Chain A
Amino acid sequence: MAKDDLKKLYDVLELPTNATLRDIHNSYMRLKKLYSGESIVLEPLGEEFSDKKKKKVLEQIEEAYAKILASRNSEAARTEPLFTEGPPEERVPEDVDPASVVFSGACLKKAREARNVTLNEISKELKLRIELLNNIEAERFETLPEAIYLKAQLRTYAALLGLPQGKVAEDYLARYQAWKDNRTPSKE
């Protein structure tokens, strides 16, 4: 993609071109929320900022988000929307049935890959070791830190991917605890 075109996409998300992955996700979610709902910021403009205009702005935001993520990854560009509809805390990875979703390591990996984000990027962004991230996704529980630390790490990981932080931590830690419970008797 030409540099100017890319700059325009970042302009849509109101970010500089050196924005971090976290900035991109946050800005996308913030703008999407602003232009899809009611706001005292839009209300005074009334018809001057019509529903049609809002819809157009939302389309531009979706397009910019998808294209920027694609441009950050050398893999095949992914252009379809990355999230299902609804407020951020209710969004789940597209490929997963919302009713049945349990955030296992495999599920997290899938969600991450759907967003075209590499472990390396997350590692840099969150200052977490790549091995740790790998172990989380592979559910190598024996290598993972105590739940109290893991909880915070899972939450930041989830926030970065735009996943529900509470549910990710809860689901994952339940699996971790189940593993622990199973392990203890066999050890004795």
Chain B
Amino acid sequence: MTAKDKVKEGEIWAIGGGKGGTGKTFITSSAGTYLAKKGRQVVLVDMDIGGANLHTFFGISRPQKSLTSFFEMGASLSDLIVPTEMANMSLITGDIHSMASDKITFTQKLKLFRQIMKLHAQTVLIDLGAGSHNSTLDTFLIADKMVVVLVPEVIAIENMYHFIKNSLFRKVKLTLKEYGFKEIVQHIWDRRQSYGIANLKELIDYLKESFSYIGTILDHELSSFRIYIVLNMVRSNQDVELGASIKSVMMKYLGIPIHYSGYVEYSDAVWKSVRERKPFMLNYLATGCAKQIETLTENLIKNTDVERRGAV
């Protein structure tokens, strides 16, 4: 499924990033709350299959409805929307039974994506689980804004690279499949040594150079592949700067456009609000974190970057 199939109501933002525990759910719920307070109609979808907990951020302990009904009983997605105490904000809670994401069939997946796109909302925020499973990648790829959340640690950075590389590889494969070049990408990749290809960027360059038709397709289809980075739990200016470095490396390495949309500092207030099961943005409005959430959400809306103040 690509951008041109979309006949949809609003904009979809997917929040992923590979590693668990980086604060994807916190960022999703907080950015969503900010958007709803601004007056946008927001639906949050918890796609962290098997590890769903977005509802707890809104004080809901046992959701009446969840994605389970969609997968097991064929319920329609729009019937699973649960209101929250906030105006403009509703929720589709995740699958709280531990369902394995590889049990989802291809047909179910397509049906789910179609229904997500038809949700009545100005912004649909999808909270993805950890990992780089194909279902997760495919959900990431239907989004208009592909957001990755990470923390300033080497493992999180590594997992994020892995996640973005897998997403890009998947995107290239799916795109070429759609144009009738189903096997070619995997075929060349499996024999990359004999082609002298060392990494994904070189594979893409090779495809573009060797087949001008494919080059045209990829240039066109990959122009929408744009990643938005959010750095969570930063503790120093040096940490903040890491976002700019990651952006630089990804652009120079993969040649894809990247935005460094924002950062959120490490704070006990966040930890407390998660414990209290209350929306952070309603209860801790005066904190630096809340301001940083506002800034990063505005940056996401406008495709702008963290403002850098001449630090070297």
Q: For chain A, what secondary structure do more than half of its interface residues adopt (helix, strand, loop), or is it mixed?
A: helix
Quick check: is B154 within 8 A (CB to CB) of the other chain? yes
Quick check: is A30 within 8 A (CB to CB) of the other chain? yes
Encode B185-229 as 1/0 by CB contact (under 8 A) with A.
000000000000011000000000000000000000000000000
Question: B154 to A44, Cβ gap below 8 A?
Answer: yes
Question: B251 to A45, Cβ gap below 8 A?
Answer: no
Given the known inter-chain contacts A30-B244, A159-B310, please indicate yes or no for A44 contacting B252, CB distance below 8 A: no
Which of B158, B308, B312 has the most chain A CB atoms closer than 10 A to its own CB? B312
Residue of A29, A33, A41 touching B249 (CB-CB under 8 A): A41
Give the interface residue-count category, chain B: 20 to 34
Given the known inter-chain contacts A34-B245, A49-B253, please indicate yes or no for A29 contacting B312, CB distance below 8 A: yes
Question: B247 to A49, Cβ gap below 8 A?
Answer: no
Question: A26 to B312, Cβ gap below 8 A?
Answer: yes
Question: B252 to A57, Cβ gap below 8 A?
Answer: yes
Encode B129-171 as 1/0 by CB contact (under 8 A) with A.
0000000000000000000000011100110010000000000
> How far apart are the CA atoms of A45 and B244 in the complex, in Å?
17
Question: A41 to B157, Cβ gap below 8 A?
Answer: yes
Residue of A14, A23, A41 touching B246 (CB-CB under 8 A): A41
Quick check: is A22 within 8 A (CB to CB) of the other chain? yes
Residue of A23, A41, A44, A57 touching B242 (CB-CB under 8 A): A41
Residues of B within 8 A of A22 (CB): 310
> How far apart are the CA atoms of A44 and B242 in the complex, in Å?
14
Encode A37-57 as 1/0 by CB contact (under 8 A) with B.
001111111011100000001
Residue of A34, A45, A88 touching B161 (CB-CB under 8 A): A45
Residue of B245, B247, B253, B308 touching A39 (CB-CB under 8 A): B245
Residue of A26, A31, A43 touching B248 (CB-CB under 8 A): A31
Which of B152, B247, B249 has the most chain A CB atoms closer than 10 A to its own CB? B249
CB distance from B226 to the nearest CB of A (A): 15
> How far apart are the CA atoms of A99 and B152 in the complex, in Å?
39
Question: A45 to B249, Cβ gap below 8 A?
Answer: yes
Residues of B within 8 A of A31 (CB): 248
Given the known inter-chain contacts A31-B248, A45-B253, A48-B253, please indicate yes or no for A88 contacting B198, CB distance below 8 A: no
Question: A48 to B157, Cβ gap below 8 A?
Answer: no
Question: A30 to B154, Cβ gap below 8 A?
Answer: no
Residues of A within 8 A of B241 (CB): 30
Question: B310 to A26, Cβ gap below 8 A?
Answer: yes
Can you give 19 A-B contacts (C-beta < 8 A)? A22-B310, A26-B310, A26-B311, A29-B312, A30-B244, A31-B248, A33-B312, A34-B245, A40-B152, A40-B153, A41-B246, A44-B154, A44-B158, A45-B161, A45-B253, A48-B198, A48-B199, A49-B249, A88-B312
